[in-house]
Amino acid sequence: MNYEIWIAGDGGNTEDYLLGVIFREPWERPVVNQQLEFKHKLFTVVRCIPPTNLETDSVKYFLEPYNSNIPFKKDIRHLPG
């Protein structure tokens, strides 16, 4: 199956960006919170559309750069001001 891979935008200024399409067998489907590597850079799957992720569906995966400090990362979208 072919899966579309997108870089997730920030919901405001930066739009989602199509990175490419990958082919994987149905049992190799990426899942949310899984890390994927592209060109020696690590990304985390943050969401997929549709969330059911059935074999017959065309699935879009949204990634963000991997952050090893995830429990402590600063999310500027929720800061005052």
By the 10 Å C-beta count (0-12 exposed, 13-18 middle, 19+ buried), 16 is classed as middle
Residue whose pair of structure tokens reads 């399409």 in the numeric block = 21
Q: Peptide bond preceding 50: is omega within 30 degrees of 0, i.e. cis?
A: yes
Q: Is the pLDDT of residue 1 over 50?
A: yes
Each residue's pLDDT tens digit, 25-47:
878 888 888 888 888 888 889 88
Q: What is the pTM for the complete model shown?
A: 0.73
